[in-house]
Amino acid sequence: MLKAKIFVQLKASVLDPQGKAVTNSLHKLGYQSVTETRISKYIEVTFNSDDETATRNEVEQICNNLLANPNTESYHYELVKEN
């Protein structure tokens, strides 16, 4: 079994309105030292396979075709063995 731990994040140049809303809420709640909040997706995909090369290939296809919007988001991932 392999597990892909995937982070899908808005590109740094893209405004994160959800993050901005959280920052504003935190300021209203009194957390004045917060300067920025960025909200991303963290996705764990488990594969019933031990073939790392083939699984890496699949993870990249999955990210490019389903999980990340290439116009506004970037992704990175690590692959770990699971028992």
What residues line the site for a copy of itself (CB under 8 A)?
Answer: 1, 7, 9, 19, 22, 25-26, 29, 31, 33-49, 55, 58, 62, 65-67
Cβ 80 to a copy of itself shortest distance, Å:
14
**Polymer length in residues for the chain:** 83
Cβ 71 to a copy of itself shortest distance, Å:
20
29 or 71, CB closer to a copy of itself? 29
Cβ-contact 17, 38 below 8 angstroms: no
Tokens 């692959």 belong to residue? 79
